[in-house]
Amino acid sequence: MRGTAGVCLSSLQNAVLRRLLPFSSAGLLPRTRKQPYQPPGGPPSEQALDSSAGPHRSCCRRAAAWATVLSALRPAAGAMCNGDGCTARCAPEASLQSILASNRLWAHEQTQHDPSFFSKLKDQQTPEWLWIGCSDSRVPANELLGLGPGEVFVQRNVGNLATHKDMNVMSCMEYAVTVLKVKHIIVCGHYGCGAVKGALTLPCATPGLVNLWIQDIRDTRDKNIELLRKLRGPEQVDKLVELNVMRQVFNVCTSPIVQQAWDAGQTLAVHGLVYALSDGILKQLTPPVTSLGDFEEFSHEQELDGLRHLSLSVLEHMSFEREALRRTSMERQASQRPQQDGSTPTAPAGTTFA
């Protein structure tokens, strides 16, 4: 058997498999129980690589050899667990060793490309972007943005939600905005999202935590029922995907974290995007939002019922916020005025939460 790099794999494969798979197999890799556990080894030896033919330079040959070995390893690992003497741990162990070997290959490639790659990242991270996206395995933030490690802070959950009472997303956002000082927050949905599909098709009474989790998407569904009823099937799902992104952008913009950052003059833009699984392209749903006014203006101009609703929500939010600020300011002034009887002013009602 010859691999893509022209390597005769039989001996190399066995040599590497011996290092990667520390368990007995159905005759492929005889091993006694007394042998100590061997963690995954490094890249193939120079000796093994020297046997490869072709015009590639050493690093290219190394990567090609690893890729060939890994592709050979996966079916081999699967087959090994069908034989006599296999245990329930064989398949998961083989999968783990395969993915650890893949990790070593990746780490090796990074340092081949840039020897200081890991030393630069070790002590600091200064990402400019916070990504709030769906947990769907087909929507990996770094890869589809073309950004490497250290360039994007990531929060993912089912349905890319950013609800104010979710301590996970809010604490992540707080750290990203106040400590890392990210300059952008992306809320990204994706067409064909299973969470959104569930919000359209599953009855509320369906058991399970995921069903409870997607309740916020159901709220968006209910507020846009007339628009959604005009659509069917995937079109209906995809429209609710977009409306859900808008709703989450609204949540991000009205969160105390982002409001405080904007009040303090921090540079911070919020973006609503949607990703197409079919072609890997991101579509921009909102212009960069750098204030609540930006969001209100944009949503007011749109024809969509959902955005008109959010526009009103923003106006209502701003109106209540202004009122609360005015009340707090008046109460603060009152508390600072000297008391006629000379007593110490007490904290006014409304300035504490207790």
- Interaction site with Zn ion (CB under 5 A): 134, 136, 193
Set 61, 90, 136, 188: catalytic member: 136
Q: Does the active-site annotation cover 136?
A: yes
Q: Cβ 181 to Zn ion, closest distance in Å?
A: 29
Residue nearer to Zn ion on the CB measure, 117 or 191: 191
Residue nearer to Zn ion on the CB measure, 136 or 296: 136
Closest to 49 (Cα-Cα) out of 39, 36, 59: 59
Q: Cβ 215 to Zn ion, closest distance in Å?
A: 16
Q: What stretches of 81-166 show up as alpha helix (H) in DSSP?
A: 90-113, 117-122, 141-145
β-sheet with 152-157: strand ranges across: 152-157, 129-134, 184-190, 269-275, 282-284
Residue nearer to Zn ion on the CB measure, 7 or 139: 139
Q: Cβ 249 to Zn ion, closest distance in Å?
A: 16
Q: Does the active-site annotation cover 172?
A: no
Closest to 81 (Cα-Cα) out of 27, 16, 160: 27
DSSP per residue, 272-320? EEEE-TTT--EEE-SPPB-SHHHHHHHHHH---HHHHHHHHHHHHHHHH
Quick one: CA torsion of 327, 332, 336, 337, rounded to 10 degrees? 0
254 — alpha (psi -120 to 50), left (phi > 0) or beta? alpha
Residue nearer to Zn ion on the CB measure, 138 or 164: 138
Alpha-carbon distance of 348 to 222, in angstroms, equals: 40
Closest to 255 (Cα-Cα) out of 156, 351, 161, 170: 170
Q: What's the distance, Cα to Cα, between the start and end of the chain in Å?
A: 75
Set 138, 164, 322, 327: catalytic member: 138
Set 61, 62, 156, 190: catalytic member: 190
Q: Cβ 220 to Zn ion, closest distance in Å?
A: 14
Alpha-carbon distance of 76 to 80, in angstroms, equals: 6
Set 61, 62, 81, 134: catalytic member: 134
Q: Cβ 136 to Zn ion, closest distance in Å?
A: 4
Q: Does the active-site annotation cover 86?
A: no
Residue nearer to Zn ion on the CB measure, 212 or 325: 212
Q: Does the active-site annotation cover 19?
A: no
Residue nearer to Zn ion on the CB measure, 65 or 195: 195
Surface-to-core class of residue 337, CB atoms within 10 Å of its CB (0-12 exposed, 13-18 middle, 19+ buried):
exposed
Set 81, 172, 193, 253: catalytic member: 193
H or E stretch at 326? helix 305-336
Q: Cβ 166 to Zn ion, closest distance in Å?
A: 16
Q: Does the active-site annotation cover 188?
A: no
Quick one: CA torsion of 55, 58, 60, 64, rounded to 10 degrees? 90
**Measuring CA to CA, how many Å separate 53 from each of 45, 46, 60, 64, 323?**
15, 13, 12, 11, 76
Q: Cβ 133 to Zn ion, closest distance in Å?
A: 8
Residue nearer to Zn ion on the CB measure, 175 or 191: 191
- As annotated, the active-site residues are 134, 136, 138, 190, 193
